[in-house]
Chain A
């Protein structure tokens, strides 16, 4: 099984599978999502190079200037240029949720896969623990953990991962369960392959469709979660230029300069929308369950 098959039929089959894997990118929703994602990715990576001022430099303009005064988004209470801060502040909103999601999917996925493979009592215990944790509203669990662990980027990643893990685990377990009963999995076990080998080579590749869709969807939730915590003052801390924090700081002067709040707020919203649209189109293409 380890050698790659090279017969024409096998190659054609592999290509067809690859096309199916990317079919979502040809749906309307998928295209819109991808376009937004590329735009935000460019903004986050290249944007900081175009910042007219250093993002944390105090007093580059009159405090609380409105956009008319030469600063594209105006300035904040300390006279910092808000457009520069906006260009600088997008990194965390992409990287922190991504890290949290990867960690959460690793924890939940390993437990879920293991449960689905073992079956019996192990599986029942794992499923029960997942259900118990899912029964607790995610924001409540997040807040309680933050109350105990304090606020830093590493605890934020950890907390969001803990909230994501059981939810991801349940989906992955379900997807793996339907695959685990197939003949080729049974055959691999009878051949005496190790648990790890069967999980990674037989079960995971064949259960990947729903897992990819759910990863994209949970990325949305993580982005919403992280930015919400920053907005509540429990995530990014000053003087960070994180978008969620920018929204919170701009909220006080909403009546004077709404753009300072609305631009970062809608950027967060757009990013979340992009991942949801992608999740939606993958779901529709790979699962094909559109009733």
Chain B
């Protein structure tokens, strides 16, 4: 496991990953800020306070929230407070945003993680199965089924699962509101359908990437040579084909984990799951600018963290970037 020669280039590439991560986060912050501050202050105030407010109330709201200051100054204040951990107070609920976001963020991450723990082994095994049976009827049929499923919107899958497993069979709760007040077993049950929805949505992509890359490595010269040397097919498959297909599969997993953080937004709204995505959508509906900003930034930051760790992991799995043979 020694990595001697690659040390210098590794440090440099780590720095580059970090640099591009910071840059992306900065762009996200600009977009989030611009997106939430495009509208005139009066509109924002009116939407937050309701239709029947007086001019005076509007003016007080604008003054209190500093909505009449120049944009660059507002961005600078918001961004510097944000990185110091002061995420502001919601103008709608009047409570600080951070304590409202954090428990929801953990629930959403747990949901995505649970889904990934099920989806990754299932989809990788399915992909390997398809690669071995390539162009046979079971492969073609599975492939088409997966293509179809991958096209479905999250809410269609979620509602189909609800109708079957919650409404008809009654095995699981129709929504996940139990998470805020239910007992431990209610809470556990509340995760099942949302997680299952996410699993169904990410399996096709990872399975198809696995199928393509394992097919490729199975036909590579080193695998064929291994077969000719008389190695067991099982050994060739796992030690030669699958191991060399690890990087694209890993990338597919990472892409899907990021995708899941977006999918979580919809799935949470299908199931009334009290996570960060539900908060984001609700806050947009209520024109709660401060909460929208904080929730969007939190999701953005996590996406970038995952991006960085995948880059690091795939560098680790690519022998060219390692010093020697492990």
Q: Does B176 contact A (CB under 8 A)?
A: no
Report if B174 contacts A (CB, 8 A): yes
A148 touches B147 (CB 8 A): no
Contacts of A269 in B (CB 8 A): 151-153, 156
A1 contacts chain B at the CB level, 8 A cutoff? no
Nearest to A144 among chain B residues (CB) is B35
Q: Are A139 and B296 in contact, with the CB atoms below 8 A?
A: no
A221 to chain B, nearest CB (A): 9
What distance in Å separates the Cβ of A133 from its nearest Cβ neighbour in chain B? 8
Interface assignment of B110: CB less than 8 Å from any CB of chain A: no
CA of A263 to CA of B289 in the docked complex: distance in angstroms? 36
Residue numbers in B under 8 Å from A147 (CB-CB): 35-36, 284, 287, 289, 292
B246, CB-defined interface residue at 8 Å: no
Residue on B with the closest CB to A147? B284
- Flag if A232 contacts B215 (CB, 8 Å): no
B262 close to A (CB within 8 Å): yes
Asked if A10 is at the interface (CB within 8 A of a chain B CB), the reply is: no
- Whether A28 touches B167, Cβ cut-off 8 Å, given contacts A139-B266, A231-B266, is no
Distance in angstroms between the alpha carbons of A280 and B296 in the assembled complex: 33
Contact of A139 among B156, B215, B265 (CB under 8 A): B265
* Residues A220 and B159 in contact, CB atoms below 8 Å apart: no
- The answer to whether A136 and B144 have CB atoms under 8 Å apart is no
B4 CB, min distance to chain A CBs, angstroms: 32
* One of B61-69, B95-103, B226-234, B298-306 contacting the partner: B298-306
Question: Is A277's CB under 8 angstroms from B32's CB?
Answer: no
Stretch at the interface among B22-30, B115-123, B177-185, B235-243: B22-30
Cβ-defined contact, A254 with B174, below 8 A: yes
Do A220 and B285 touch (CB < 8 A)?
no
Q: A148 is contacted by which of B38, B144, B153, B307 (Cβ under 8 Å)? A: B38
Q: Is B15 an interface residue (CB 8 A)?
A: no
Asked if A91 lies at the interface with its beta carbon under 8 angstroms from chain B, I say no
Chain B residues near A262 (CB-CB < 8 A) = 159-160, 163
Q: When A262-B163, A269-B156 are in contact, do A140 and B262 touch as well, CB less than 8 Å?
A: yes
Measured between beta carbons, the chain A residues less than 8 angstroms from B280 are 143
Interface residue from A133, A228, A273, A276 paired with B266 (Cβ < 8 Å) = A228
Instruction: Provide the main secondary structure of the chain B interface.
Output: helix
Closest to A150 in B: B39
In this assembly, does A233 line the interface, its C-beta being within 8 Å of a C-beta of chain B?
yes
Are A144 and B292 in contact, CB atoms less than 8 angstroms apart? yes
CB-based contact B151/A272 at 8 Å: yes
Q: Does A266 contact B (CB under 8 A)?
A: yes
Are the CB atoms of A137 and B153 closer together than 8 Å?
no
**What are the interface flags for B274-311 relative to A under an 8 Å C-beta threshold, 1 for contact and 0 otherwise?**
00000011001101010010001001100110010000
For window 185-227 of B, CB contacts with A under 8 Å fall at: 212, 215-216, 219
Give Cα A33 to B231, complex, Å.
43
In the docked arrangement, what's the CA distance between A139 and B259, Å?
A: 9
Contact A258 B167 (CB under 8 A): yes
Q: Are A220 and B163 in contact (CB under 8 A)?
A: no
- Interface residue A275 (Cβ < 8 Å from any Cβ of B): yes
Give chain A residues whose Cβ lies under 8 Å from the Cβ of B299. 137, 140
B152, A273: Cβ atoms under 8 Å?
A: yes
Interface pair B147/A277, CB less than 8 Å apart: yes
A291 close to chain B: CB less than 8 A: yes
Interface residues as binary, B1-43 with A (CB distance below 8 Å gives 1, 0 otherwise): 0000000000000000000000110011001101111110000
**CB–CB B284/A149 < 8 A:** no
Contacts of B259 in A (CB 8 A): 137
Given contacts A143-B296, A144-B35, contact A254 B285 (CB under 8 A): no
B156 to A149, Cβ gap below 8 A?
no
Instruction: Select which of A132, A149, A220, A277 is within 8 A of B144 by beta carbon.
Output: A277
Residues on A with C-beta less than 8 A from B39 are 148-150
CB distance A135 to B304 under 8 Å?
yes
* Residue B148, interface by CB 8 Å: yes
Residue B151 contacts which of A136, A140, A266, A275 (CB distance < 8 angstroms)?
A275
Chain A residues contacting B147 (CB-CB under 8 Å) are 29, 273, 276-277, 280
The 9 closest A-B pairs by CB, nearest first: A276-B151, A148-B35, A144-B35, A148-B38, A139-B262, A272-B151, A137-B262, A224-B153, A273-B148
Seed contacts A148-B37, A276-B151; 4 additional CB < 8 Å A-B pairs: A146-B284, A224-B151, A228-B153, A262-B160
**Taking beta carbons and an 8 Å cutoff, which residues of A are in contact with B?**
28-29, 32, 132-133, 135-141, 143-150, 220, 223-224, 227-228, 231-234, 247, 251, 254-255, 258, 261-262, 265-266, 268-269, 272-273, 275-277, 280, 291
6 contacts between A and B (CB under 8 A): A140-B262, A148-B38, A254-B174, A258-B167, A272-B151, A291-B212
| B contacts, CB < 8 Å to A | 23-24, 27-28, 31-32, 34-39, 140, 144, 147-148, 150-156, 159-160, 162-163, 167, 174, 212, 215-216, 219, 258-259, 261-263, 265-266, 269-270, 280-281, 284-285, 287, 289, 292, 296, 299-300, 303-304, 307
